[in-house]
Structure 1
Amino acid sequence: MRHLSEADRDALRIAQDLRFPRWLQQITATGGCAHPVHLSGSTTTVDGTTGEILHHYDTRNEPGERLLIRCRNRRASICPACSRLHARDTFHLVRAGLIGGKNIPTTVRARPRLFVTLTAPSFGPVHRAGLICRPRRDGGTCEHGRPLGCPTVHAPADPLVGQPVCPDCYDYTGHVLWHAHASKLWDRFVIDVRRRLASSAGVVQSRFARHARLSFARIAEYQKRAAVHVHAVVRLDGPDGPTDEPPPWGTPDRLTRAVNASAQRVTVRTPYSPAVGEVELSWGTQADVRVLHADGDGPDDDAVAAYVAKYVTKGTDETGAGTDRKVTTRDDINTAPVSRHVRTLMHTCWRLGDLPEYEPLRLRTWTHTLGYRGHILTKSRVYSTTYAALRAERAHHLGHTDIPDAITDAYWRYVGSGHTPGAALIAAGVAEDLAECRRLSAEASQQGGGVDNSSAQA
């Protein structure tokens, strides 16, 4: 007889429990969440006029006297089930800002819209995939005695891709400081685009908001060289947002020129440090700006939304640009499963984080993300719907409706999280089954002439 593992024995114990069906219902309701939150408590809904109890729920009637809810972690490396749900929500959030829906008018599709990619500057030559990595006819070496060129044709999966040609020449300090100021650089970029639009249209810059509104949704993605670059959907509306038409001067061409100019000229200066000096930071030279046309001539709206949704679930573990778990000591850095290049970036974060002039940057806190402190996905206030609205809509579809004139009294407390080994095994199976069902449903919808964007695109 095959020897059963601890997880198998635990799974059998759970399955033999009389309350297993109800426990499985909870696991299924969380989508097979890998690290559910355990809550204990009760909720009572009463009629505000008569005092009649309309609904009462208490976890004392549940297995283990607790309710399991989703962890809502966006990272696929931590919770595949919740990351898939987050990706679907992101797809709908970005898509609504492109073509309407979710209380956004469909007229936004005819607005000036761009898909913008902004990169980090070069901090030193790195190995590249594709043709000859770094051809040099004259050869030559750097000041550290390493070859300046690389005649190898690297495959995309080659571990050398993204690694510095000479680690000693690479500007690790500049790389970390750029990450720490990337969000500020984006904010200044958006402000500068507004100013350039106003100037080109003959509008007083301080009165731009009376004429138009710049809306956006942006996502940060780590490149092979462990530097963040930004993908953004940028849209020009009237002053009231998506319900308002932009002024006649608000054209895709004018918006494109403003974006390109701002990407080339916006800078941020770091605080002065006796050890580093004052560093001027800017975007890289490889900016890409594409107009999104309503007639489909150019990047497809659904493809753009799906592209953004794909990257929102990737953590630094998955991209190889750091780790998803915070580090608290140098030993954590030394034992992290990362490349030498990334480890050096983490050590640089740790070293710079000890300088008093960089204390506001909290570099040691963000060592695991190589100093990048911004959210993976950010959007302007009226670009489209919100994650909260999407969750509320999903709850409504599941039957969780509001009752007029009702009063709800709820008491909940946190009592734990995660799974036992056997429970984790069962939850993973549930998550895989649900994912397969969505895939088959999407295929059936496409074969029938429709497209189920909630699953197929995300």
Structure 2
Amino acid sequence: MVKTLAPLARGVLEAVAVEHGVCVRPVPMRRVDLNTGAAEMVYVPCGHTLASVCPSCAERKRKLRAVQCRQGWHLAEEPVITRADPDEEQRAWMELRSQAQAARDRAADDGTTDGEGPEFWDAVVRDLDIEIERSGVRGSLKTGDEARGRRTRSTRRRQDAPDLPRRPVDSRTVGKVFRGNDGKTFRPSLFLTLTLDSYGRVRSDGTPVDPDSYDYTRAARDALHFSKLVDRFVQNLRRFVGYDVQYFAAVEPQRRLAPHLHMAIRGTISRTELRQVVAATYHQVWWPSTDRVVYSGDRLPVWDDAAGENGGYLDPTTGEILPTWDEALDAIGQDEDAEPLHVVRFGRQIDAQGVLADSADSRRCIGYLTKYLVKGVAECHEAETPAQREHVDRMAEALRYEPCSPTCANWLRYGVQPKNPRKGMTPGYCKGKAHRREHLGYGGRRVLVSRKWSGKTLADHKADRKAWALARLAEAGVPVSNPADPQAAYVWERAGPGDPDVRPTEHRLLLLINERIQRRRQLDAATSNPTPELSATAEAA
């Protein structure tokens, strides 16, 4: 017998908040006006991208991505991208960065500088890089030892992959214009779907027909290195077609849990050319071998502070220092018969569709691209049957001991010290994103957008929506404070839950719901022909 109980007040409150697009986890921030000294409590949306955490913020992010995809997909003119001149604050931070880098170099050459060693100045340089980024500077400075001594291997193509001709890459990014028999012109674009190869026969629910013969190891490694394969595909595509191909892509799992790629490409490329590029695209993983387990169970490497320059791991029986990451790579480079640990390729299945601007197909594809962005990788196809749960368990177990990066603790299992080892590392307990069950081995970004897609960053698109809403409200005579006003000077700080001016979560939601209702009424009144899409723009204000 199932008895239905009355809903809880907190549940009803959150449901109403979601209905009105209000964040269910508002963050209390104290804003201090530097001109007047007045302090005001502002409840800021949490900004989470997963609907399971905050449905309102996740949906707002999804809509913003849809706007970004639509504005860049069918551009008729080349996007103009300019860089602002550095301001005084940015110049000052960079001057300090140059002084710290010089002190670090002197410390590395002489042993110490003013009583401080290289490690001290490395920390200073890292802190300054963070401040430079906070000041609004994009990109990073490659000044470390890793940038100077980057390892490279032969770029000779594999014999089992077809050769791919290269053309000079033109700076053009927009697609070609076609003229029909009726004289009308149109500029089509492309919607492409790429998948990985088969690991064994699967049923319609994504579970293997024969789990024991299903290649979980290859599936795990393909998922771990899928993002590198996508990067290589884009590189090969641009070199083959001869222009700067622009794309908006989303990575999602299939029902069999393997990641696959949906990509909106500006302009058209023939299916024959796409098949050539896919067939010739691969990514080789030149890592130490993991075929033999050296340490497991209770017999694991032990940490010794005196091993190496900054400590290291020793064999628990012999006391010998394990090979470092650099030594293991050197051994691979010196072996002429060495083979890569793994080679990842796309499967043969390719789906390419031509799409016209402002068409039903265009809207459908944009919705498909952004559909699962509010869900985690494992949430896209939740396990409902025992067979599906077993499939997830086997995939998670295959990923548990598979190294996810050079710094992964799992390298200790195979007798190699990870890059930058530290005390307390244990095989099977790496905290890398790819090892978590909710990511199913994929540790890359879910949304991939080329730099010249729309000529704007995601923050620029958000600012456009906010500027539109503020302009409409200003035209209607509604006073709205704008923290971005150059005349205003504010300092923001995170308020603690125990601060006396921070209201309880329920009180915050009630205030924000009422504020959202009033703001939408004002915005609807300010627009001559309000629509749900335009009304939703008030969310950014």
- Per the TM superposition, whether the score is higher than 0.5 is yes
- Distance in 1 between residues matched to 2:372 and 2:7, nearest whole Å: 35
- Give the deviation of 1:122 after TM superposition: 0.9
Aligned to 1:221: 252
Secondary structure of 1:229's match? strand
- Distance in 1 between residues matched to 2:66 and 2:280, nearest whole Å: 31
How many matched pairs? 339
- Give the deviation of 1:225 after TM superposition: 0.7
Preserved contact between residue 222 and residue 316 of structure 1 (Cα < 8 Å): yes
Aligned to 2:40: 58
Aligned to 1:330: none
- Give the deviation of 1:260 after TM superposition: 2.5
- Give the deviation of 1:423 after TM superposition: 2.8
Aligned to 1:415: 496
Secondary structure of 2:247's match? strand
- Distance in 1 between residues matched to 2:530 and 2:494, nearest whole Å: 47
Secondary structure of 2:349's match? coil
Amino acid at match of 1:73: H
- Give the deviation of 1:164 after TM superposition: 1.1
Preserved contact between residue 271 and residue 358 of structure 1 (Cα < 8 Å): no
Aligned to 1:143: none
Aligned to 1:43: 32
- Give the deviation of 1:291 after TM superposition: 2.0
- Distance in 1 between residues matched to 2:230 and 2:284, nearest whole Å: 13
- Distance in 2 between residues matched to 1:33 and 1:379, nearest whole Å: 26
1:375 aligns with 2:445: yes
Preserved contact between residue 43 and residue 409 of structure 1 (Cα < 8 Å): yes
Secondary structure of 1:213's match? coil
State the identity as a percent: 24
Preserved contact between residue 185 and residue 266 of structure 1 (Cα < 8 Å): yes
Larger-gyration structure (1/2): 2
Amino acid at match of 1:193: L
Alignment of 1:152-301 (within 5 A): 161-198=205-242, 212-236=243-267, 252-253=268-269, 256-276=271-291, 278-294=341-357, 300-301=361-362
* CA RMSD after TM alignment: 4.8
- Give the deviation of 1:189 after TM superposition: 0.3
Show structure 2 runs of 5+ residues with no match. Answer: 81-173, 178-185, 292-339, 404-409, 420-429, 471-479
For 2:48, which of 73, 77, 80 is the aligned residue? 73
- Distance in 2 between residues matched to 1:421 and 1:407, nearest whole Å: 29
- Give the deviation of 1:411 after TM superposition: 3.3
CA deviations 1:166-187 (Å, max 9, x no partner) are 1111111111111111111011
Residues 282 and 379 (structure 1 numbering): CA distance in 2 closer, same or farther, change over 3 Å?
A: same
1:119 aligns with 2:219: no
- Distance in 1 between residues matched to 2:531 and 2:503, nearest whole Å: 41
1:90 aligns with 2:65: yes
For normalisation by structure 2, the TM-score amounts to: 0.53
Residues 4 and 450 (structure 1 numbering): CA distance in 2 closer, same or farther, change over 3 Å?
A: closer
Amino acid at match of 1:366: A
For normalisation by structure 1, the TM-score amounts to: 0.61
Aligned to 1:312: 373
- Give the deviation of 1:451 after TM superposition: 8.4
Amino acid at match of 1:367: H
Secondary structure of 1:339's match? helix
Secondary structure of 1:286's match? strand
Residues 253 and 69 (structure 1 numbering): CA distance in 2 closer, same or farther, change over 3 Å?
A: closer
- Distance in 1 between residues matched to 2:458 and 2:417, nearest whole Å: 33
Aligned to 1:131: none
Secondary structure of 1:287's match? strand
- Give the deviation of 1:453 after TM superposition: 8.1
Amino acid at match of 2:389: S
- Give the deviation of 1:366 after TM superposition: 2.0
Preserved contact between residue 321 and residue 342 of structure 1 (Cα < 8 Å): no
Secondary structure of 1:125's match? coil
1:33 aligns with 2:64: no
- Give the deviation of 1:36 after TM superposition: 2.5
Question: RCO higher in 1 or 2 (8 Å CA, sep ≥ 6)?
Answer: 1
- Distance in 1 between residues matched to 2:249 and 2:363, nearest whole Å: 16
Preserved contact between residue 28 and residue 430 of structure 1 (Cα < 8 Å): no
